[in-house]
Structure 1
Protein backbone atom coordinates (compact mmCIF):
# COMPACT_ATOMS: atom_id res chain seq x y z
CA UNK A 1 0.00 0.00 0.00
CA UNK A 2 2.84 2.37 0.89
CA UNK A 3 4.50 1.71 -2.51
CA UNK A 4 1.22 2.34 -4.33
CA UNK A 5 0.72 5.67 -2.48
CA UNK A 6 4.31 6.68 -3.33
CA UNK A 7 3.72 5.80 -7.02
CA UNK A 8 0.53 7.91 -7.14
CA UNK A 9 2.27 10.90 -5.50
CA UNK A 10 5.29 10.59 -7.82
CA UNK A 11 3.09 10.30 -10.92
CA UNK A 12 0.95 13.28 -9.86
CA UNK A 13 4.07 15.37 -9.19
CA UNK A 14 5.56 14.42 -12.57
CA UNK A 15 2.32 15.32 -14.38
CA UNK A 16 2.13 18.63 -12.51
CA UNK A 17 5.71 19.53 -13.43
CA UNK A 18 5.08 18.53 -17.03
CA UNK A 19 1.94 20.66 -17.09
CA UNK A 20 3.76 23.68 -15.71
CA UNK A 21 6.56 23.21 -18.22
CA UNK A 22 4.18 23.22 -21.18
CA UNK A 23 2.26 26.26 -19.88
CA UNK A 24 5.36 28.38 -19.30
CA UNK A 25 6.83 27.37 -22.65
CA UNK A 26 3.65 28.37 -24.48
CA UNK A 27 3.35 31.73 -22.72
CA UNK A 28 7.06 32.46 -23.26
CA UNK A 29 6.64 31.95 -27.03
CA UNK A 30 3.81 34.47 -27.31
CA UNK A 31 4.10 38.18 -26.63
CA UNK A 32 1.54 40.90 -26.05
CA UNK A 33 1.23 44.04 -28.18
CA UNK A 34 -0.58 47.26 -27.38
CA UNK A 35 -2.16 48.77 -30.50
CA UNK A 36 -0.83 52.24 -31.37
CA UNK A 37 -2.49 54.96 -33.44
CA UNK A 38 -2.36 54.20 -37.18
CA UNK A 39 -1.56 50.51 -36.79
CA UNK A 40 -3.34 47.84 -38.82
CA UNK A 41 -3.32 44.06 -38.59
CA UNK A 42 -1.00 44.06 -41.61
CA UNK A 43 1.52 46.43 -39.97
CA UNK A 44 1.52 44.46 -36.73
CA UNK A 45 1.79 41.10 -38.50
CA UNK A 46 4.68 42.40 -40.64
CA UNK A 47 6.48 43.73 -37.57
CA UNK A 48 6.37 40.42 -35.73
CA UNK A 49 6.54 38.10 -38.74
CA UNK A 50 3.24 36.29 -38.24
CA UNK A 51 0.42 35.62 -40.73
CA UNK A 52 -2.41 38.16 -40.52
CA UNK A 53 -4.94 35.31 -40.41
CA UNK A 54 -3.13 33.70 -37.45
CA UNK A 55 -2.97 37.03 -35.59
CA UNK A 56 -6.71 37.59 -36.00
CA UNK A 57 -7.58 34.01 -35.12
CA UNK A 58 -5.41 34.01 -31.98
CA UNK A 59 -7.24 37.12 -30.77
CA UNK A 60 -10.73 35.90 -31.78
CA UNK A 61 -11.18 38.76 -34.26
CA UNK A 62 -13.08 38.64 -37.55
CA UNK A 63 -13.15 42.32 -38.50
CA UNK A 64 -10.20 44.55 -39.40
CA UNK A 65 -11.16 47.11 -36.73
CA UNK A 66 -8.52 47.92 -34.10
CA UNK A 67 -8.65 50.31 -31.15
CA UNK A 68 -5.74 52.28 -29.70
CA UNK A 69 -4.61 50.57 -26.52
CA UNK A 70 -6.19 47.23 -27.48
CA UNK A 71 -4.02 44.30 -26.33
CA UNK A 72 -3.22 41.66 -28.91
CA UNK A 73 -1.51 38.35 -28.25
CA UNK A 74 1.08 37.70 -30.93
CA UNK A 75 1.05 33.99 -31.81
CA UNK A 76 4.28 32.08 -32.17
CA UNK A 77 4.96 30.91 -35.72
CA UNK A 78 8.43 29.94 -36.87
CA UNK A 79 11.50 30.20 -34.66
CA UNK A 80 13.97 33.07 -34.77
CA UNK A 81 16.59 30.61 -36.07
CA UNK A 82 14.31 29.77 -39.02
CA UNK A 83 13.72 33.47 -39.70
CA UNK A 84 17.48 34.07 -39.68
CA UNK A 85 18.07 31.13 -42.03
CA UNK A 86 15.41 32.40 -44.42
CA UNK A 87 16.86 35.92 -44.33
CA UNK A 88 20.34 34.60 -45.19
CA UNK A 89 18.96 32.65 -48.15
CA UNK A 90 16.89 35.63 -49.33
CA UNK A 91 19.91 37.92 -49.02
CA UNK A 92 22.07 35.57 -51.09
CA UNK A 93 19.42 34.61 -53.68
CA UNK A 94 17.95 38.08 -54.20
CA UNK A 95 21.11 40.17 -54.03
CA UNK A 96 20.57 43.24 -56.20
CA UNK A 97 16.85 42.56 -56.52
CA UNK A 98 14.10 44.90 -55.37
CA UNK A 99 12.45 44.61 -51.96
CA UNK A 100 9.40 43.04 -53.64
CA UNK A 101 11.72 40.46 -55.18
CA UNK A 102 13.12 39.62 -51.73
CA UNK A 103 9.60 39.18 -50.31
CA UNK A 104 8.73 36.91 -53.24
CA UNK A 105 11.79 34.68 -52.63
CA UNK A 106 10.88 34.39 -48.94
CA UNK A 107 7.31 33.54 -49.97
CA UNK A 108 8.57 30.67 -52.15
CA UNK A 109 10.32 29.17 -49.10
CA UNK A 110 7.13 29.36 -47.02
CA UNK A 111 5.00 28.00 -49.88
CA UNK A 112 7.32 25.02 -50.09
CA UNK A 113 7.05 24.42 -46.34
CA UNK A 114 3.25 24.45 -46.72
CA UNK A 115 3.27 22.19 -49.81
CA UNK A 116 3.12 18.39 -49.57
CA UNK A 117 5.69 18.25 -52.42
CA UNK A 118 8.50 19.58 -50.19
CA UNK A 119 9.86 19.13 -46.64
CA UNK A 120 7.58 20.60 -43.95
CA UNK A 121 10.19 22.76 -42.21
CA UNK A 122 12.19 25.85 -43.18
CA UNK A 123 15.49 24.05 -42.58
CA UNK A 124 14.28 21.04 -44.58
CA UNK A 125 13.32 23.23 -47.54
CA UNK A 126 16.49 25.32 -47.48
CA UNK A 127 18.81 22.32 -47.28
CA UNK A 128 16.81 19.98 -49.54
CA UNK A 129 18.93 17.93 -51.93
CA UNK A 130 17.99 16.31 -55.21
CA UNK A 131 20.41 14.01 -57.04
CA UNK A 132 23.29 15.29 -54.96
CA UNK A 133 22.61 18.99 -55.50
CA UNK A 134 21.00 21.50 -53.17
CA UNK A 135 17.79 23.13 -54.37
CA UNK A 136 19.21 26.64 -53.84
CA UNK A 137 22.49 27.82 -55.38
CA UNK A 138 23.63 29.80 -52.28
CA UNK A 139 23.49 26.59 -50.23
CA UNK A 140 25.51 24.78 -52.91
CA UNK A 141 28.22 27.48 -53.16
CA UNK A 142 28.24 28.49 -49.46
CA UNK A 143 27.12 32.11 -49.92
CA UNK A 144 24.18 31.38 -47.57
CA UNK A 145 26.69 31.49 -44.72
CA UNK A 146 27.12 35.26 -45.08
CA UNK A 147 25.03 37.55 -42.90
CA UNK A 148 21.64 38.78 -44.05
CA UNK A 149 20.99 42.44 -44.80
CA UNK A 150 18.23 44.34 -42.98
CA UNK A 151 15.99 44.45 -46.08
CA UNK A 152 16.05 40.65 -46.31
CA UNK A 153 15.15 40.31 -42.61
CA UNK A 154 12.24 42.70 -43.11
CA UNK A 155 11.20 40.84 -46.28
CA UNK A 156 10.98 37.57 -44.33
CA UNK A 157 8.62 39.16 -41.78
CA UNK A 158 6.47 40.56 -44.58
CA UNK A 159 6.35 37.18 -46.32
CA UNK A 160 5.27 35.60 -43.04
CA UNK A 161 2.50 38.19 -42.67
CA UNK A 162 1.41 37.42 -46.25
CA UNK A 163 1.61 33.62 -45.72
CA UNK A 164 -1.27 31.65 -47.21
CA UNK A 165 -2.13 34.33 -49.77
CA UNK A 166 -0.80 35.05 -53.25
CA UNK A 167 -0.44 32.85 -56.32
CA UNK A 168 1.31 29.86 -54.76
CA UNK A 169 4.77 30.29 -56.30
CA UNK A 170 7.00 27.28 -55.56
CA UNK A 171 9.95 28.08 -57.85
CA UNK A 172 11.93 31.03 -59.14
CA UNK A 173 14.64 31.34 -61.75
CA UNK A 174 16.44 33.79 -64.00
CA UNK A 175 15.06 33.23 -67.52
CA UNK A 176 18.30 34.57 -69.04
CA UNK A 177 20.46 31.94 -67.35
CA UNK A 178 18.07 29.00 -66.74
CA UNK A 179 19.13 25.86 -68.61
CA UNK A 180 16.40 23.47 -67.46
CA UNK A 181 13.55 22.82 -69.90
CA UNK A 182 11.55 21.52 -66.95
CA UNK A 183 11.67 24.82 -65.02
CA UNK A 184 10.83 26.76 -68.19
CA UNK A 185 7.72 24.59 -68.60
CA UNK A 186 6.25 25.57 -65.20
CA UNK A 187 3.26 27.96 -64.99
CA UNK A 188 4.58 31.49 -64.45
CA UNK A 189 2.92 33.38 -61.58
CA UNK A 190 4.81 36.68 -61.68
CA UNK A 191 8.08 38.25 -62.88
CA UNK A 192 9.93 40.58 -60.51
CA UNK A 193 13.24 42.02 -61.61
CA UNK A 194 15.54 39.27 -62.90
CA UNK A 195 13.46 36.48 -61.34
CA UNK A 196 10.53 34.66 -62.83
CA UNK A 197 8.31 32.93 -60.27
CA UNK A 198 6.35 29.78 -61.09
CA UNK A 199 4.34 26.88 -59.67
Structure 2
Protein backbone atom coordinates (compact mmCIF):
# COMPACT_ATOMS: atom_id res chain seq x y z
CA UNK A 1 0.00 0.00 0.00
CA UNK A 2 1.45 3.41 -0.95
CA UNK A 3 2.34 5.95 1.73
CA UNK A 4 -0.43 8.33 0.64
CA UNK A 5 -3.09 5.58 0.71
CA UNK A 6 -1.89 4.40 4.11
CA UNK A 7 -1.97 8.00 5.35
CA UNK A 8 -5.51 8.50 4.00
CA UNK A 9 -6.64 5.23 5.59
CA UNK A 10 -5.29 6.30 8.97
CA UNK A 11 -6.84 9.74 8.58
CA UNK A 12 -10.22 8.21 7.67
CA UNK A 13 -10.18 6.06 10.79
CA UNK A 14 -9.33 9.07 12.93
CA UNK A 15 -12.14 11.05 11.31
CA UNK A 16 -14.66 8.30 12.00
CA UNK A 17 -13.65 8.24 15.68
CA UNK A 18 -13.72 12.04 15.86
CA UNK A 19 -17.16 12.28 14.27
CA UNK A 20 -18.65 9.76 16.69
CA UNK A 21 -17.29 11.67 19.69
CA UNK A 22 -18.30 14.99 18.06
CA UNK A 23 -21.89 13.77 17.64
CA UNK A 24 -22.11 12.91 21.34
CA UNK A 25 -20.54 16.23 22.34
CA UNK A 26 -22.74 18.31 20.03
CA UNK A 27 -25.91 16.58 21.27
CA UNK A 28 -24.95 17.64 24.79
CA UNK A 29 -24.01 21.15 23.59
CA UNK A 30 -27.34 21.58 21.81
CA UNK A 31 -29.11 21.20 25.14
CA UNK A 32 -27.16 24.12 26.62
CA UNK A 33 -28.43 27.64 25.97
CA UNK A 34 -26.02 30.13 24.39
CA UNK A 35 -26.64 33.76 23.65
CA UNK A 36 -23.70 34.51 21.34
CA UNK A 37 -23.36 32.90 17.93
CA UNK A 38 -20.23 30.78 17.71
CA UNK A 39 -18.37 29.29 14.81
CA UNK A 40 -18.84 25.55 15.01
CA UNK A 41 -15.52 23.80 15.43
CA UNK A 42 -14.76 20.18 14.66
CA UNK A 43 -11.78 18.36 16.16
CA UNK A 44 -9.90 15.56 14.43
CA UNK A 45 -6.97 13.39 15.32
CA UNK A 46 -4.59 13.70 12.37
CA UNK A 47 -1.37 11.87 11.58
CA UNK A 48 1.40 13.82 9.90
CA UNK A 49 2.48 12.09 6.67
CA UNK A 50 6.06 13.29 7.25
CA UNK A 51 6.64 12.41 10.91
CA UNK A 52 3.87 9.90 11.63
CA UNK A 53 3.02 11.87 14.78
CA UNK A 54 -0.61 12.21 15.78
CA UNK A 55 -2.08 15.52 16.88
CA UNK A 56 -5.56 16.86 17.48
CA UNK A 57 -6.61 19.58 15.05
CA UNK A 58 -9.63 21.83 15.39
CA UNK A 59 -11.08 23.40 12.25
CA UNK A 60 -14.14 25.41 11.37
CA UNK A 61 -16.97 23.12 10.31
CA UNK A 62 -18.07 25.69 7.71
CA UNK A 63 -14.55 26.02 6.23
CA UNK A 64 -14.27 22.23 6.11
CA UNK A 65 -17.56 21.90 4.22
CA UNK A 66 -16.65 24.69 1.76
CA UNK A 67 -13.17 23.28 1.06
CA UNK A 68 -14.43 19.70 0.70
CA UNK A 69 -17.15 20.87 -1.71
CA UNK A 70 -14.62 22.78 -3.82
CA UNK A 71 -12.25 19.82 -3.91
CA UNK A 72 -15.08 17.48 -4.85
CA UNK A 73 -16.23 19.56 -7.81
CA UNK A 74 -12.82 20.83 -8.94
CA UNK A 75 -10.53 17.86 -8.29
CA UNK A 76 -12.34 14.65 -7.32
CA UNK A 77 -10.93 12.88 -10.40
CA UNK A 78 -7.37 13.77 -9.43
CA UNK A 79 -5.07 11.75 -7.23
CA UNK A 80 -4.37 12.81 -3.66
CA UNK A 81 -1.51 15.07 -4.74
CA UNK A 82 -3.72 16.88 -7.26
CA UNK A 83 -6.46 17.35 -4.67
CA UNK A 84 -3.93 18.64 -2.14
CA UNK A 85 -2.64 21.11 -4.74
CA UNK A 86 -6.12 22.55 -5.34
CA UNK A 87 -6.64 22.84 -1.56
CA UNK A 88 -3.28 24.60 -1.37
CA UNK A 89 -4.40 27.20 -3.93
CA UNK A 90 -7.55 27.93 -1.94
CA UNK A 91 -5.59 28.33 1.30
CA UNK A 92 -2.96 30.46 -0.49
CA UNK A 93 -5.81 32.75 -1.54
CA UNK A 94 -7.08 33.00 2.05
CA UNK A 95 -3.59 34.20 3.05
CA UNK A 96 -3.30 36.60 0.09
CA UNK A 97 -4.37 40.26 0.56
CA UNK A 98 -6.36 40.39 -2.71
CA UNK A 99 -8.74 37.57 -1.79
CA UNK A 100 -11.36 36.99 0.93
CA UNK A 101 -10.00 36.03 4.35
CA UNK A 102 -11.99 32.80 4.83
CA UNK A 103 -12.14 29.52 2.94
CA UNK A 104 -15.86 29.98 2.28
CA UNK A 105 -15.24 33.54 1.13
CA UNK A 106 -12.66 32.33 -1.41
CA UNK A 107 -14.75 29.38 -2.60
CA UNK A 108 -17.90 31.49 -2.97
CA UNK A 109 -16.15 34.44 -4.63
CA UNK A 110 -18.03 35.19 -7.84
CA UNK A 111 -16.53 33.86 -11.07
CA UNK A 112 -13.63 31.97 -9.50
CA UNK A 113 -14.67 28.31 -9.64
CA UNK A 114 -16.28 26.64 -12.63
CA UNK A 115 -18.78 24.58 -10.64
CA UNK A 116 -20.33 27.69 -9.05
CA UNK A 117 -22.85 28.41 -11.80
CA UNK A 118 -26.59 28.96 -11.81
CA UNK A 119 -27.44 25.33 -11.09
CA UNK A 120 -26.84 24.22 -7.52
CA UNK A 121 -24.36 21.30 -7.73
CA UNK A 122 -25.07 18.05 -5.91
CA UNK A 123 -22.64 15.54 -4.47
CA UNK A 124 -23.47 12.12 -5.89
CA UNK A 125 -20.32 10.10 -5.14
CA UNK A 126 -20.07 9.60 -1.38
CA UNK A 127 -16.75 7.71 -1.60
CA UNK A 128 -15.12 10.50 -3.61
CA UNK A 129 -16.54 13.07 -1.18
CA UNK A 130 -15.10 11.18 1.80
CA UNK A 131 -11.66 11.15 0.15
CA UNK A 132 -11.67 14.89 -0.61
CA UNK A 133 -12.95 15.62 2.90
CA UNK A 134 -9.87 13.82 4.28
CA UNK A 135 -7.66 16.00 2.08
CA UNK A 136 -9.56 19.11 3.27
CA UNK A 137 -9.05 18.15 6.93
CA UNK A 138 -5.33 17.63 6.38
CA UNK A 139 -5.03 20.98 4.57
CA UNK A 140 -7.01 22.96 7.15
CA UNK A 141 -5.26 21.35 10.10
CA UNK A 142 -1.82 22.13 8.70
CA UNK A 143 -0.74 18.48 8.70
CA UNK A 144 -0.29 18.63 4.90
CA UNK A 145 2.53 21.09 4.12
CA UNK A 146 1.84 23.63 1.37
CA UNK A 147 4.79 22.83 -0.85
CA UNK A 148 3.22 21.47 -4.03
CA UNK A 149 2.33 24.58 -6.04
CA UNK A 150 5.09 27.05 -5.12
CA UNK A 151 2.62 29.65 -3.84
CA UNK A 152 0.04 29.34 -6.63
CA UNK A 153 -3.19 31.30 -6.33
CA UNK A 154 -4.75 30.23 -9.64
CA UNK A 155 -5.21 26.99 -11.56
CA UNK A 156 -7.06 25.61 -14.56
CA UNK A 157 -7.32 22.32 -16.40
CA UNK A 158 -5.19 21.65 -19.45
CA UNK A 159 -8.38 21.52 -21.53
CA UNK A 160 -8.77 25.31 -21.39
CA UNK A 161 -6.48 28.32 -21.69
CA UNK A 162 -7.99 31.31 -19.87
CA UNK A 163 -6.78 34.77 -20.86
CA UNK A 164 -5.35 35.42 -17.40
CA UNK A 165 -2.94 32.47 -17.73
CA UNK A 166 -0.66 34.53 -20.01
CA UNK A 167 -0.24 37.22 -17.36
CA UNK A 168 0.83 35.05 -14.42
CA UNK A 169 3.87 32.92 -13.71
CA UNK A 170 3.26 29.21 -14.24
CA UNK A 171 4.56 27.28 -11.23
CA UNK A 172 3.78 23.61 -11.94
CA UNK A 173 1.45 21.06 -13.48
CA UNK A 174 -0.05 18.34 -11.30
CA UNK A 175 -2.43 15.87 -12.89
CA UNK A 176 -4.87 17.68 -15.16
CA UNK A 177 -4.30 21.10 -13.53
CA UNK A 178 -1.80 23.85 -14.32
CA UNK A 179 -0.94 26.21 -11.45
CA UNK A 180 0.03 29.90 -11.49
CA UNK A 181 1.31 32.47 -9.04
CA UNK A 182 -0.33 35.88 -9.36
CA UNK A 183 2.29 37.97 -7.57
CA UNK A 184 4.73 37.82 -10.47
CA UNK A 185 3.21 39.22 -13.62
CA UNK A 186 4.87 38.39 -16.92
CA UNK A 187 5.77 41.00 -19.53
CA UNK A 188 3.12 41.39 -22.17
CA UNK A 189 5.42 41.76 -25.21
1:152-167 map, 5 Å: 152-160=132-140, 161=142, 165-166=146-147, 167=150
SS at the partner of 2:155?
strand
Higher relative contact order (CA 8 A, sep 6+): 1
CA–CA distance in 2 between the matches of 1:176 and 1:32? Answer: 36
Q: Which has the higher strand share?
A: 2
Select 1:192's aligned residue among 160, 167, 174. Answer: 174
- Partners of 1:170 and 1:197 within 8 A in 2: yes
1:32 Cα offset (Å): 9.5
State how far apart, in whole Å, the 2-side matches of 1:41 and 1:85 are.
28
Kindly indicate which of the two structures has a greater share of residues assigned to helix. 1
Residue of structure 2 in register with 1:84 after alignment: 65
Residue 44 of structure 1 corresponds to which residue in structure 2?
Answer: 54
RMSD over aligned CA atoms reads 3.4
2:159 pairs, out of 166, 172, 176, with 176
196 and 113 in structure 1: CA distance in 2 versus 1, 3 angstrom threshold? same
**Alignment counterpart, residue 114 of structure 2, candidates 137, 141, 145:** 137
Q: Report 1:19-98 matches (<5 A).
A: 43-44=53-54, 74=56, 76=58, 78-98=59-79
TM-score normalised per structure 1: 0.57
Give, in whole Å, the separation in 1 of the partners of 2:145 and 2:69.
Answer: 22
Count of residue pairs the alignment pairs up: 139
* DSSP-derived class of the 2:87 partner: helix
User: Gaps (5+ residues) in structure 1?
Assistant: 1-20, 46-73
Q: CA deviation at 1:108?
A: 0.9
Unpaired segments of 5 or more residues in structure 2? 1-33, 182-189
Deviation at 1:29, TM superposition (A): 5.3
Is the 1:127–1:139 Cα contact (8 Å) retained in structure 2? Answer: yes
Contact 1:88/1:145, CA 8 A, preserved across alignment = no
Specify the alignment match of 2:84 in structure 1: 103
Q: Is the 8 A contact 1:83 1:153 kept in 2?
A: yes
Please give the per-residue CA displacement for 1:26-79, whole angstroms capped at 9, x wherever unaligned. Answer: 9x958697x99x99766535xxxxxxxxxxxxxxxxxxxxxxxxxxxx453x41
